[in-house]
Amino acid sequence: METTPALARDRDELAAMLSSFTGRRAVVMTMGALHEGHLALVRAARELADHVVVTIFVNPLQFGPHEDFARYPRDLDADLVLLATAGADLVFAPGPNVVYPDGDPMVRVVAGPIETVLEGTIRPGHFSGVLTVVLKFLHLVSPDLAFFGQKDAQQLIAVRRMVRDLDVPVEVVAVPTVRDADGLALSSRNVYLTPEQRRQALALSKALHAGLAAASDGAGAVRTAARAVLDGEPEIALDYVALIDPGSAQEVARGYRGDAILAVAARVGTTRLIDNTPLVVSGSGGTS
């Protein structure tokens, strides 16, 4: 039976509702505009925890001055309906004054070298903003488990490193990316795409497929195969094709063998999309 989750809008309401929870607690953090990808996180949390808390907060700290903070899609009522179907128990949807009562926080989490590669170079300050709000929500919700999507691979790496490096008492659980039937990774930003841009955006998942198929030919071959697909779609503006270490987000060397993540990012019209796939690199061929 579907039950609408309880809704907390401030710290006191959240604390009061959490005090009735007795078992294992999970958190799924979101910025709303929920889709099947978020619901997969909630369902995975439902499997492993007795109580599932979902946070909905469009975090100003992680948006650059020219990014889409103001137009980021927001629809709390629709999100609550979806969360009822997925089995969330409690939704914490605070406003910015609740999360940052003194305005922009003076002290923030520093993402270190993760901030200097890929999304970090294109979106300065982004991971510091993400980690700062993630740490705050971990403190406020005190979960045993925290669920994050593999879709945001670099964010997942950053959160795992923060939890490990700062001894945060929570277990991070990664959930695989959910895709539409044609391969496009679900993202709240897909709503910005026109039908033609949506077709062009498929180059990202096709590039990952090509890279995956080249994994037994070495790191260089993976990068070359993925880049060839993206070069074949001139309407999209490629930001990067990268083959990274899943523990540090740094590029792997040419002769690398083992677990890696192939990550791509591109602008389709004015919409920035990212995607990635985990893979195991073997062989040592390739030119880049």
- Of 161, 168, 190, residue with least CA distance to 38: 190
Restricting to residues 125-164, name those near ligand PAF by CB under 6 A: 130, 133-134, 152, 155
Q: Give yes or no for a contact between 246 and 277, defined as CB atoms under 8 angstroms apart.
A: no
Considering the rule CB under 6 A, would residue 275 count as an interface residue with ligand PAF?
no
Q: Which residue in 35, 38, 66, 139 is the catalytic one?
A: 38
By CB under 6 A, the count of residues binding ligand PAF is 10
Q: Residue 245's closest CA among 216, 221, 279, 284?
A: 279
Q: Clarify whether 209 is annotated catalytic.
A: no
Residue (59 or 200) nearer to ligand PAF, CB: 59
Options 18, 31, 185, 201; binder of ligand PAF; rule CB under 6 A: 31
46-75 residues near ligand PAF, rule: CB under 6 A: 59, 62
- What's the CA gap between 57 and 26, in Å, rounded? 17
| Residue at token pair 């605070």 | 94
Q: Closest CB to ligand PAF among 162 and 225?
A: 162
Shortest gap between Cβ of 285 and ligand PAF (angstroms)? 36
Residues 6+ apart with CB under 8 A from 39: 82, 83, 85, 86
The single residue among 29, 88, 193, 219 that binds ligand PAF, judged by CB under 6 A, is 29
Residue 115 sits in the site that holds ligand PAF (CB under 6 A): no
- Helix locations, the chain, DSSP H: 11-18, 36-48, 76-86, 96-99, 119-122, 126-141, 153-165, 195-213, 219-231
Q: Is 131 helix (H, G, I), strand (E, B) or coil?
A: helix
Give the shortest CB-200-to-ligand PAF separation in angstroms: 24
221 binds ligand PAF (CB under 6 A): no
Active site residues: 38
* Residues in touch with ligand PAF (CB under 6 A): 29-31, 59, 62, 130, 133-134, 152, 155
